[in-house]
Amino acid sequence: MASQKGRQAWVNLSYTRYKDGKPVKRACDVMKEFMESFTYSDCATGSMDTMSVVLNNSDSRFNKGWMPHKKDSMSAFIVTDNWKNRSKEKMCCGTFIIDQLRFSGPPGICEVGAICAPETTSFRTSERDKTWKKATLKGVSQAIADKYKLGLVFKGHDTDIGTTEQSGETDYSFLCRTAEEYGYGMKLYRNKILIYDIAEMEDAKPASIIHKYQVTGSYDWETVMSGTYTGAKIRYMGDDSKEVSCSVGKGPRWLRVSGSAASIAQAKKLAAARVNNENRGTTTISLQVRGNTNYFATSVVMLQGFNKLSGRYFIDEAEHRIDATGGYTTSLSMHKIQGRVTV
């Protein structure tokens, strides 16, 4: 009888550099020969996804003819075989632009860092001033996506944001901030901008269960009692230049919010998003489990076996790491899903 095949995990990583304006690709099997470790960080919102590859540079090829250059790109898939079952599974990490390079030794090591961003750096580096009039969140997102030739995936109901000022901000930081102000998350993935209603994502059915016995090593759970609010009061300047105030939720713990709004309805949306954003980070947990391609940012998991710490959690960041021996782990940073203040 043939022996059962053991669990296997590896990375299919291809590298593309540009020589005389033409792409030159190093295939997956070539890169695998030199790979010491691979790390992929998948973030829900507020930060770009990143990739880091440690390469064996004992023959100095990576600081000679094979030296990486900024704006080169890497594409990666994590592949598992017989990991959770007998089938082969694959997770696409996407395409990343090189933005960091580090050499050390002995032994000779080359570490390449990359970020998930459009090829044009102006999306995250060029600051500009613009007044967006009679705008909606989806309309602004689509305009920015079109400008950089990116796709747009918008999950949730569109919302009016009125007249909004982009002042000395990059398009990336402006869109990320504006989405957050109205209770939405933003991330880049596979040449697309994803804008999603965080509340709708948190209400999704848990994609998987993590029991305490699955945790490898330690876990870190924390809650901040003083940061939980039961409602928000907002003051803003109305169209007649008079100060207007309104509230969402109820006492006794009020979050005081100030800003600008064109109507009470818009002010309440801003206040509810702000208080929910504040409450979202009050209870968090970080832990490491055996590598799993089903764990990704923006998904919901159910923690069991942690007694009163158990419950529904939202994955804020999933870090997948594979070393040269095929060891595969996933580290998760999550927040506990709380009751929300609604308009």
Q: Per residue in 303-313, pLDDT tens?
A: 999 999 999 99
Query: Is 227 or 59 the better-scoring residue by pLDDT?
Result: 59
Q: Which candidate, 135, 121, 207, places its Cα nearest to that of 166?
A: 135
* For the chain, counts of helices (H) and of strands (E): 6, 21
Element (H, E) at 323: strand 311-323
Question: What is the pLDDT at residue 260?
Answer: 82
- Between 117-126, 180-189, 253-262, 277-286, the lowest mean confidence (pLDDT) is in 117-126
**Mean pLDDT of all residues in the chain?**
90
Q: What is the DSSP string of 278-304?
A: HHHTSEEEEEEEE--TT--TT-EEEEE
pLDDT confidence band for 2 (50 / 70 / 90): very low
| pLDDT exceeds 80 at position 5 | no
Q: For 125, which DSSP code? A: H
21 in the Ramachandran plot: left (φ > 0), alpha (ψ -120 to 50) or beta?
left
Read off φ and ψ for residue 30, nearest 5 degrees. Answer: -70, -45
- Between 8-12, 51-55, 80-84, the lowest mean confidence (pLDDT) is in 80-84
Dist. CA 69–CA 54, nearest whole Å = 15
Dist. CA 200–CA 180, nearest whole Å = 14
| pLDDT exceeds 50 at position 126 | yes
Alpha-helical (H) ranges within the chain are 28-32, 122-125, 137-147, 171-181, 198-202, 264-280
What's the whole-number mean pLDDT along residues 168-191? Answer: 94
pLDDT tens for each residue of 130-168: 999 999 999 999 999 999 999 999 999 999 998 899 999
Q: pTM of this prediction?
A: 0.91
Q: Are 236 and 244 in contact (CB under 8 A)?
A: yes
What's the whole-number mean pLDDT along residues 158-179? Answer: 93
What's the whole-number mean pLDDT along residues 70-95? Answer: 86
Query: Is 123 or 304 the better-scoring residue by pLDDT?
Result: 304
| pLDDT exceeds 60 at position 174 | yes
Question: What is the pLDDT at residue 239?
Answer: 66
Q: Which residues contact 7 (CB under 8 A, 6 or more apart)?
A: 80, 81, 82, 83
Distance of CA 297 to the CA centre of its chain: 6
Question: What is the pLDDT at residue 142?
Answer: 97
Q: Are 185 and 198 in contact (CB under 8 A)?
A: yes
Instruction: Calculate what percentage of the chain has a pLDDT beyond 90.
Output: 66
pLDDT tens for each residue of 202-236: 999 999 999 999 999 889 999 987 668 999 999 88
| pLDDT exceeds 90 at position 117 | no
| pLDDT exceeds 70 at position 110 | yes
Number of neighbouring beta carbons within 10 Å of residue 293: 21
Partners of 95 in beta bridges: 75
Scored b (16 or more CB within 10 A) or e, 68-101 reads beeebbbbbbbbbeebeeeeebebebbbbbbbeb
Question: What is the pLDDT at residue 263?
Answer: 86
Q: Are 63 and 110 in contact (CB under 8 A)?
A: yes
Question: What is the pLDDT at residue 82?
Answer: 82
Question: What is the pLDDT at residue 86?
Answer: 66
